[in-house]
Amino acid sequence: MDKRDKSILQALQEDADITVGELADKIGLSKSACWRRIQNLEESGIIGAKVTLLNQQALGLNLTVFTVIRTHEHSRSWFDQFHDVTAEMPNVMEVHRMSGDMDYLMRAVVPDMKSYDNMYKELIGSVKLFDVSSSFSMETIKYTTALPLDYL
């Protein structure tokens, strides 16, 4: 990975719709060289997907919920069930297995408190949990999907 690859990644994180020609001009490469570099970044797995980011509030998903989950179950079968259940819940955006005093941290987006309550009931009805504690975001101070590239 060199400076030009880093520039390609930064530009694509800012605007995935940029054309290869525009990107090539921006970083000082020919179109074919730029296209080959993009292909190499995709094939190596550094570029994982190209997506369109939607506006959460414009879609009426006004509530972001962070849920701390604790369990006394640490078997493979429990983990597989928990994974399957949360993977199928469309409002669950992220689930992280954590160190420290919490086992899992989940981020979900829902239209309102009633929708969260329904999601909560679905979760606790599907998987044996010890403790579920949720906090609701009052304001998003920073949100980005762009990964930091300065260390490269």
Same domain as 71, residue 37: no
pLDDT band for position 152 (cuts 50, 70, 90) = confident
How many domains are contained in the chain? Answer: 2
DSSP assignment of 41-70 equals: HHHTTSS--------TTTTT--EEEEEEEE
Q: How far is the C-alpha of 53 from the C-alpha of 134, rounded, in Å?
A: 25
Q: What is the mean pLDDT of residues 2-6?
A: 96
- pTM to 2 decimal places: 0.88
User: What is the domain extent for residue 21?
Assistant: 3-43
Same domain as 114, residue 67: yes
Task: Please write the tens of the pLDDT for every residue from 29-66.
Answer: 999 999 999 999 999 999 999 999 999 999 999 999 99
52: in domain: no
